[in-house]
Structures are given as C-alpha cells and as structure tokens.
Amino acid sequence: MQRRSFLKFFTFLLTSLSFKVSSNNNNEKISFNHGVASGDPTNTNVIIWTRVTKVSNKSINVNWEISDDINFLKIIHSGTTKTSAHKDFTVKVDAKIPKKYNGTQIFYRFICNNNFSPVGSTITLPIYNPHLFNIAFCSCSNYPAGFFNAYKEMAKNKEIDLVLHLGDYLYEYEKNGYASENSNELNRVSIPSNELISLKDYRLRHAQYKTDQDLQLLHKNKPMIVVWDDHEFTNNTWKSGAENHSINEGNFLSRKINALKAYYEWMPIRESNNKTNIWRSFEVGNLFQLLMLDTRLISRDKQLDINDFFADGVFDYESYEKDLNKPRKLLGNKQFSWVKNTLDKKYKWSIFGQQILIGPQYLPDALKKIDKSSVPEYMHIYLQLAGKKLPWNTDQWDGYPKEREKFYKIIQNSQSNIILAGDTHSSWLSNLYDVKENFIGIEIGAPSISSPNGVDLFGDYANQIDNQYLDENDNLIYTNSSFKGYALLSLNKESARVVYKYVSTVKSTDYKNIESPTFDIKHNQPIKIGA
C-alpha cells in the first residue's frame, strides 16, 4: 500500500510539474465563469469544452485532464491546448478515449494558471448494445422568458445517457423583444440589449446563456449533441435571408458568418472543414443510428409567405395550394445524398434529430370562432385557414411537401424510423405516412424549455385547442401546449418508449414536476390511437 501511495504521489507531482512547464501563462488571473461542457460523443472520442475568463487579450495555454475517477487519482488522457481572443478564449478538445472506457462514465477538467475548472462528466457511445439507452431531447430555451427548470431536471436525471438540443439554444432579439415581458422581474434581461448582428453581439449572448446555473449543471453532467435552428441566427432564417433581417441591419451573409463563428466557439460540437455542413451521424452498437440534419441554413429556399395570398382581406386558397406544391428545397441535394449513403438497415432504430415538425398540421375548425382580440395580431391571418385542411406554418416541412416526400422515399427502407423535432414550443406525437398512405415512422415533437406556447397565447383555452387538434388531425396521437419541459426516449432492441417530462412553471424556480402518459413504440408500426 505504501508503494502504491508513493507511485500515485509521484505521478501527481510529475503531472503538476508538466503543467507548470507547459502553461507559460505569466500567472495572469483567470476563471472559468461559463462552466464546462461535452458533446458529440462517438464510439472513440468526445468533445470537451470550456471558456477562460481573463483580462488581457494575450493568448494562453490551457491544460486538460480526463480520468475514470471523479477525484482524478488516475489520468487516462491529458494534454495542453492554446486559446486566444480569436476564439473568444473558448477551449475545445476532441479527446480520444481509451477503448477500455468505452460507454462508461468518465470525468474531465481544465487547468490554467493553477486554477481548476469544474469537473464534468461524460461518456463515449457504446460500441456494443446496452440493455437500454435513454435520450433526452429539447429545444427553444429563451433566457428572458423564464427559468431553465427543465435543464435542471435533465441534469439531475441519472437515467439519461445523452441529451439532444434541437435548436433555438438562444434567441437573437433585443432586450424588449420576444417573450421579454417579465425579464426585469425575473432578473433575466438580455445581454447585449440590442438585437444580435455583429460577432461581438452573438458572443455576448452565448456567454450570458452559459452563466445560467441550470444550463451549466446540464452541460457539466451530460454529453450533448446540438443542431442549430433559426434563432441562433435570426427568426425564420433561410439560406439567403430571414424574416427578422432587414436592409438596415447590413449584409445577411456577414450576419450569418458572425453567428456561425460564435456558435462553433461556444458549443461543444465537432467542427469540420466546411462549417456550414452540420449534418453528422452517431451510432450505438446496432441498436440505433442517429442522423442529425440541417433543415434551416444551408439549402433551405425562402418560405412561402402566407401574407402574399391576401387581397382585400380575402384569402386566395386556390393560389396558395398551387404555390405550396411547387418544388422548394429544404435539405438540398448534398444532404439528401448523405442521408441516403449513411442510412443503414442493420440498425434497429433510425433516429433523425432535426429542427421542425414533419407531420402535417391543420388548424382546427373551432379556431374560427375564437375572439381575435384574445390572440396576438400576427395570428389573425392564420385563423382563416382553420378547418380548411391546409398547412398554416410554411416554415415547417408543411411548406416543403415535395421535399418531404423525397425524404420519406429515402428513409422508408430502414428498419424503423423515429423523427424528432423542436421549434413549436409544444409537445407532439404523430404517426407519419407518405402521400400513398405508406407508414413511414413516428414523429416526436419536443416542448420548449422556456419559450411561450399555447397556454401563454390562449390561457385556459389551450387544453380545448389541443383536443380539437387531436379531433381534426388524423395522424396525431398526443399533443400538449400547456407545459414546458423535455422529452425522454428510451430504446431497447424490442421497443421504444417516450414520455414527456414537464415543469409546472418557468416563471419561478419553485416548481413541480409533471409527467405525461407513456407511449410505447413498436418496430415499424404506427401507434394506435388511445395507446
């Protein structure tokens, strides 16, 4: 025992000395104010991330360590990397993990000028099939709209192996913009105060989000796989513009480049040479493959504008339906080719992590009778589509029906498809069929973390609207627009299970947990209504 203790001490001493030799940082005072994070785990590697807060703009060396023990008695990998103002002093390492630790919990930390970061926990994805694998997924975390209580619940849930964030990780609006009504009262006023346009703007907003203690706890405890949606850039982005970008805000391409650079700096995501190609895949044994898609930025053609079909207050339904069915790109040829080449029938489950609802969504007829004064003015035009069995949200796959059919055709040969979505701030569970009524798979739409949803728009009437949606959308199994939270997908070889985990409020840190019904998913079979 004495010999073993001496060897541990000697190893620690050598490690400490090597840090002092390699750091060469002139003892500048630093801190790790934005926590740590891990992401994009593969069977062999995982990204670990932090950010160094410091006064000067001089570049600095940062050491990192990975251990199989939370006390770091045994270091299984370590190294030194440099960060600088060019990276906003963020640190990102693609760490290769020894095979013997595959699929097991490991710990990581950063050291700089004798300061230690918080200790993070992460995994590599199992090479062999686990008995059960649990994926939590979420979207739409709006800082001024409320507290990130659902992040805290995910962080505390020891059953969760992996977290997917399906976009709108942050919002670009100025401090008095969307969902900011209670921001002063909640002490959650957006920084910077202006709308995000410059690189500095996007960096500051990312930094603010990562000061949130619940988000820090989630990143510290769980590996995360992320994909952007529109608000990481600006509302209703498409490849060459956005609804929330005007001429006086400068060149859209410059704004997009600024947002992209800040995103890759501040998120625990693996980077390729082409930063715009965010699509990538992950595998666990032959249990499942996860394909993360981009339906937002790279190939998307401009959305159909529903306002263009109004003349003197009357909606032109015939022209709208005709224009809706014109070819319009969403994934684009390059990504379609990647999906086709990557999809492999050996996996029991093929899961698609992407941003927007793919199943058809029709507004229920009863909405025509709603008092217009009770809903925001921007919603009024949509009410004319209530009961018409026509898509109303052209920003979703509904606005790109030919692209949807092309996607369905590519994925119909897999064993069993589950398509995940965010964006809507509400919960959805649907059976998916192509135009020939062939069953394609199951769609699971995640609620928001804090962004407003149906209950914020319609109050107590939200539950009635949910029921009307179920009555008039044949493929819809479940919906809930009253609660914020996340979805939990549990996978084994025989079946999958989904349950929505809700929090009672986001306007206070004093909340209760609310759980939805549980839904079982069988291989390549629709969910039965009422199941």
Tell me what the mean pLDDT of segment 70-88 comes to: 98
Give per-residue pLDDT as tens, 122-173. Answer: 999 999 999 999 999 999 999 999 999 999 999 999 999 999 999 999 999 9
Q: Residue 303 to residues 180, 237, 313, 315: CA-CA distances in angstroms?
A: 26, 9, 21, 18
**Residue 375: what pLDDT?**
76
The pLDDT score that the predictor gives to residue 115 is: 97
Enumerate the domain spans of the chain: 2-126, 150-522
Mean pLDDT, range 205-230, rounded to an integer: 98
For residue 471, give Cα distances in angstroms to 33, 364, 474, 476: 49, 8, 7, 9
Q: Which fold has domain 150-522?
A: Purple Acid Phosphatase; chain A, domain 2 (3.60.21)
Q: CA 176 to CA 145: how far, in whole Å?
A: 11
What is the model's pLDDT at position 448? 98
Q: What's the pLDDT tens digit per position in 237-263? A: 999 999 999 999 999 999 999 999 999
Residue 530 has a pLDDT of: 60
pLDDT at 70 over 80: yes
With cut-offs at 50, 70 and 90, classify the pLDDT of residue 198. Answer: very high
- What percentage of residues in the chain have a pLDDT greater than 70? 95
Predicted structure pTM score: 0.94
**362 DSSP 8-state letter:** B
Asked whether 495 and 521 are in contact (CB, 8 A), the reply is yes
For position 7, what pLDDT does the model report? 43
- Quote helix, strand, coil % in the chain, to nearest 5: 30, 25, 45
- Which pLDDT does position 531 carry in this prediction? 54
| Per-residue pLDDT at 13 | 46
**pLDDT of residue 18 exceeding 70:** no
Can you give the three-state secondary structure of 277-314, one letter per residue?
A: CCCEEEEECCCEEEEECCCCCCCCCCCCCHHHHEECCE
pLDDT at 361 over 50: yes
pLDDT at 14 over 80: no
pLDDT band per the 50, 70, 90 thresholds, residue 5 = very low
Sign of CA dihedral 72, 78, 80, 86: negative
Does position 404 have pLDDT exceeding 80, yes or no? yes
Percent of the chain with pLDDT over 90: 85
The model's pLDDT over 94-104, given as tens digits with 9 standing for 90+, comes to: 999 999 999 99
429-441 residue pLDDT tens: 999 999 999 999 9
**Within 10 Å of residue 393's Cβ, how many Cβ atoms?**
18
**Two structure tokens written together for 480:** 């809930």
DSSP state of 196: P
The pLDDT of residue 499 is above 60: yes
Pick the CATH number of 2-126 from 2.40.40.20, 2.60.40.380, 3.30.470.30, 3.40.50.300: 2.60.40.380
389 exposure class (CB count in 10 Å sphere: 0-12, 13-18, 19+): exposed
What band does 378 get if pLDDT is binned at 50, 70 and 90?
confident
Instruction: Give yes or no for residue 12 having a pLDDT over 50.
Output: no
Name the average pLDDT for the chain: 93
E strands, 314-465, in order = 314-315, 349-353, 417-421, 427-433, 439-445
Lowest mean pLDDT among 49-53, 84-88, 117-121, 470-474: 470-474
pLDDT, average across residues 207-224: 98
Do 2-126 and 150-522 fold alike per CATH? no
Q: What are phi and psi of 200, to 5 degrees?
A: -60, -40
Sole residue written with tokens 């969902």: 179
Taking alpha carbons only, the member of 424, 413, 482, 425 closest to residue 449 is 425
| Alpha carbons 34 and 219: distance in angstroms, whole number | 10
Question: CA-CA distance, 490 to 500, in Å (whole number)?
Answer: 11
For residues 442-455, average pLDDT: 97
Top pLDDT among 184 and 274 is at 184
pLDDT reading at 20 higher than 50: no
Tokens coding 198? 């410059």
Residue type at 452 in one-letter notation: P
Q: Is a pLDDT exceeding 60 seen at residue 3?
A: no
- The pLDDT of residue 23 is 44
The rounded distance, in Å, linking the Cα atoms of 214 and 450 is 12
User: Tokens at residue 115, please?
Assistant: 């300061």
Alpha carbons 343 and 288: distance in angstroms, whole number? 11
The rounded Cα 450 to chain-centroid distance in angstroms is: 13
Categorize the per-residue pLDDT at 24 as very low, low, confident or very high, splitting at 50, 70 and 90: low
